[in-house]
Chain A
Amino acid sequence: MSVDLGRPVAVWRPRPRTSLRVDRRAVAVGLVLLAIVCVLAVVSLAYGTYQLSLGEVVGALTGNGDRRAHTLVVEWRLPRLLFAIGCGIALALAGSIFQSLTRNPLGSPDVIGLDAGSYAGAVIVTLVIGSTAYTDIALGSLVGGLLTAALVYVLAYRRGAQGFRLIIVGIAVAAMLSSFNAYVMMREDPQTAMIVAAWGAGSLASLGYSQLVPFSIALVALLPLAALLARPLAQLELGDDAARSQGVHAERVRLGATILGVAFASLVSAAAGPIAFVALVAPQIAHRLARTAGPSPVVSALTGAALLVSADVVAQHLAVATGLVTVTLGGLYFIWLLIREYRRS
């Protein structure tokens, strides 16, 4: 006999003493999302200034295509696609971690000031060091994001960093950093300001394999940590007392999860500049689609990948920065939220 969860559950018993309960709806949603990502991937590899047929794309990927197709697909479009997928996954996981930590759908790295912090880091590097090299900006933004996260964490800390305080403090810090950024930008020379502004819009267009390799290594290194923290983090949503009485090291898990969430978010900011709203929206969409309890990391990650790849296809098509498309997407999400709340009350 097994417990009725009110929804279909597949039980898989690899060994007699263990069984894995798999939520069928979550699996189905995951598979659909995966299929969407694949279709979008083919679209993004085939379309562009030069259109290729499906056969040419497959040929180029398997090493049987002509030079032109190879250059277009493998050298130019593939790294950008892989970046979109990787950044989508990283952002969604960052969002899912922060929303779980704060128990609030608004708890996402862009809302609590990390994007503004990364941006400030990039701005300072270009102004103070006078460098507009990619690696310097990336490093500056990484440091900026991390410092901002540390600042928000310390300011929000009172006998443990509590969720809602984190959000409020984060919003305040983000606002101050934004005005700082605006002020500094006014003082930059126009050319540098252009470069910084372009970076600040969040773009995947200019990224190639030399950036993809370190990015992927870092992402793959972080994923097992996310898997490790997933259950204690979900347990923490029961409130500190309940979680701790079940053997969760509450403060340790919270600190670890904060660092991990910051790492995921900063990784993206450092590579591509701040790409807003994916972290905020993906876990919520995943939560509604899969009807899981709280944000589910795997479905969130797939949703993030699907969102960012589709945003990037649109960005490519309109020749604008990817970040601009996601901001628009985020705006639509808020309008939808407002309408829903309005209808409810």
Chain B
Amino acid sequence: MTAHALEAAGLTLAYDKRVISTDLSVHVPAGSFTAIIGPNACGKSTLLRALSRLLAPRAGTVLLDGRDIAERGAKELARELGLLPQTSLAPDGIRVADLVARGRFPHQRVFDRWSPDDEAAVLRAMSATDVLDLSGRLVDELSGGQRQRVWVAMALAQETATLLLDEPTTFLDIAHQIEVLELFRRINLEDGRTLVAVLHDLNQAARYASHIIAMKDGRVVAAGAPTDVITPEVVQDVFSVPCRVIEDPEAHTPLVIPLVRR
């Protein structure tokens, strides 16, 4: 896969009258693992929805690989750019493998159903997310973490060069969080996919991402390499949390230590 950059310029994002962002510009470098951080309700999901054309901006453009996403065909764009929404709904009575297979939709024409490519993609996605053992289970009857991995598998099965993930690690225990993040790092480095993930754990963002975008009140406060963005000043500014930032003794990336409140 050739990695694509994602470039948003001058975005005004709003739901009806409620304006979330004005003149927002964001740069996602090609082939990067970009993490978006910021407090609740600051507009992270809204930004991802604009980057994936779910929300039409009032003003501004989003360019994928230099081309305006507004001008692409729906399925054509879906073969290049995937999104894992923060919340999704599982159809009543659907089983895991069927749900993952739904990710192949943009690759199928109206009446051709299932190709060996589809089969292979679904298998790869399921083994990468460690859900092969669950394949015949009802999605309704899975634990929150199992379900989350199934959704990630569905997004992976779409096999897009660019993948946007809205809080992919929520509901996961520490072991599966690490597993999923390692998986993202692997597909980022090995397949050369561009990844954008909303993450709430700053230390995980610093450890796994190559590029971090910090947001607050619909604006980008800082963007760049983890060492440039994860600083006491930025964390104070964005989250109003006083902290020290030390070097992670294991990964040598920034590690946020909140100060003890007295």
Write the residues of chain A forming the contact surface with B, with a CB cutoff of 8 angstroms: 1-7, 17-21, 103, 159, 227-228, 231, 234-235, 237-242, 244-249, 287, 291-294
Contact = CB atoms under 8 A, between A and B. Distances in A.
B92 A103 contact: yes
A293 B85 contact: no
A245 B114 contact: no
A18 B115 CA distance: 5
B89 interface: yes
A6 B141 CA distance: 14
A140 B50 CA distance: 46
Given A239-B85, A245-B85, A292-B93, A3 B123 contact: yes
Given A5-B97, A241-B83, A248-B105, A293 B112 contact: no
Contacts, number: 122
A4 B98 contact: no
Interface in B73-93: 73-79, 81-83, 85, 87-93
B49 interface: yes
A109 B111 CA distance: 27
B54 A246 contact: no
Contacts of B77: 247
B98 A5 contact: yes
A282 to B, nearest CB: 16
Chain A interface main SS type: loop
Q: How many of chain B's residues touch chain A, expressed as a range?
A: 35 or more
Given A6-B95, A293-B94, A294-B92, A246 B135 contact: no
Contacts of B112: 18
B104 to A, nearest CB: 9
A292 B102 CA distance: 14
A3 B74 contact: no
B85 A20 contact: no
A293 B122 contact: no
B7 to A, nearest CB: 19
Nearest to A252: B74
Nearest to A291: B93
B82 A245 contact: yes
A18 to B, nearest CB: 6
16 contacts: A4-B132, A5-B97, A7-B136, A18-B114, A235-B105, A239-B87, A239-B88, A241-B49, A245-B54, A245-B82, A246-B78, A246-B82, A246-B102, A248-B74, A292-B93, A294-B93
A235 B102 contact: yes
B177 to A, nearest CB: 22
Contact of B89 (A3, A103, A159, A231): A103
Contacts of B99: 293
Contacts of A235: 102, 105
A19 B115 contact: yes
Interface in B211-232: none
Contact of B114 (A1, A19, A237, A240): A19
Contacts of A159: 16
A237 B83 contact: no
A244 B122 CA distance: 20
A245 B95 contact: no
A293 B102 CA distance: 11
Give the residue among B76, B83, B91 with the most A Cβ atoms within 10 A: B91
Given A5-B95, A7-B136, A19-B116, A246 B106 contact: yes
A247 B74 contact: yes
Give the residue among B105, B126, B158 with the most A Cβ atoms within 10 A: B105
Contact of A238 (B53, B90, B93, B122): B90
